[in-house]
């Protein structure tokens, strides 16, 4: 899975020389200008002319910088074009697998809870517990509390403009034991590949 490309050559010596020369010159002028008082009409005109010259030189440096960066942006764009489809497809596949694992394990957990609820003897409870599906190697679950508005009429005034991050912090901090009227939380499991 290799991409064929034409070799790309970027001349760094020329812009480096231009940048260093101009920077050195402008720094020197900057230091000298700061020692010259602007205390007469002639000096004001001199300052205006000097400002124009420096501005033009700075604009030239900015233009040179932009033109020097163009090939790099082109290269970045090409590389993103090569890599992004695979990255996007891979992330989509991982999300699909995680959701499939999460859905299946939630279903199995629900079935086991129903079996435990219907168990009438200690032996049935032990058998049901031992029958729990083992956690696959290289896998774990993370807890994620999600919330939704259960009754908008009960939400306190200071939550009217819902501050989702504030609610998230409170829900996580209290591990789902929400003390906010009108807000209900539930625990979801998210698959995480180790």
Number of Cβ atoms within 10 Å of the Cβ of 41:
8
DSSP assignment of 148-166, as one string?
Answer: EES-GGGS-GGGSS--HHH
Query: Does 162 map to a domain?
Result: yes
Whether residues 79 and 142 share a domain: the answer is: no
> What's the pLDDT at 116?
81
Query: Does 146 map to a domain?
Result: yes
pLDDT above 80: residue 130? no
Residues ≥6 apart with Cβ < 8 Å to 94: 193
pLDDT above 90: residue 3? no
Sign of CA dihedral 12, 18, 19, 20: positive
Query: Does 33 map to a domain?
Result: yes
pLDDT above 60: residue 5? no
Per-residue pLDDT tens over the stretch 96-113: 998 888 888 888 888 888
Give the pLDDT band (50/70/90) at residue 93: very high
Boundary (domain end) residue, out of 38, 61, 84: 84
Instruction: Output the average pLDDT for the chain.
Output: 83
* Cα(12)–Cα(151) distance, integer angstroms: 64
* 107-132 average pLDDT score: 81
Query: Does 100 map to a domain?
Result: no
Per-residue pLDDT tens over the stretch 138-194: 877 788 888 888 998 898 887 778 888 889 998 989 888 888 888 889 888 876 665
In contact, 168 and 159? CB cutoff 8 Å? no
In Å, the largest CA–CA distance within the chain is: 105
Query: Does 106 map to a domain?
Result: no
Q: How far is CA 193 from CA 84, 107, 164, 177, in A?
A: 21, 20, 27, 28
> What's the pLDDT at 10?
67
Query: Does 61 map to a domain?
Result: yes
Query: Does 2 map to a domain?
Result: no
Query: Does 155 map to a domain?
Result: yes
Q: If we measure between CA atoms, which residue out of 121, 181, 194 comes closest to residue 150?
A: 181
How many folded domains does the chain comprise?
A: 2
Residues ≥6 apart with Cβ < 8 Å to 38: 44, 47
**Domain around 38:** 13-84
């Amino acid at each position: 899975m290799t991409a064929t490309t034409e070799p790309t050559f970027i001349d760094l010596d020329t812009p480096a020389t231009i940048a260093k020369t101009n920077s050195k010159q402008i720094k020197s002028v900057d230091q000298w200008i700061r020692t010259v008082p602007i205390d007469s009409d002639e000096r004001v005109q001199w300052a205006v002319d000097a400002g124009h010259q420096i501005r033009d030189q700075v604009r030239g440096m900015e233009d040179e910088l932009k033109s020097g960066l163009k090939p790099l942006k082109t290269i970045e764009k090409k590389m993103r074009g090569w890599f992004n489809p695979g990255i996007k497809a891979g992330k989509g596949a991982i999300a699909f697998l995680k959701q499939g694992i999460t859905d299946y394990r939630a279903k199995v957990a629900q079935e086991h809870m129903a079996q435990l609820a219907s168990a009438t003897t200690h032996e049935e409870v032990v058998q049901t517990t031992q029958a729990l599906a083992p956690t696959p190697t290289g896998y774990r679950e993370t807890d994620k509390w999600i919330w939704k508005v259960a009754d908008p009429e009960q939400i306190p005034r200071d939550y009217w403009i819902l501050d989702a991050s504030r609610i998230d912090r409170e829900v996580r901090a209290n591990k789902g034991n929400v003390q906010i009227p009108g807000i209900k939380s539930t625990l979801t499991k998210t698959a995480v590949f180790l």
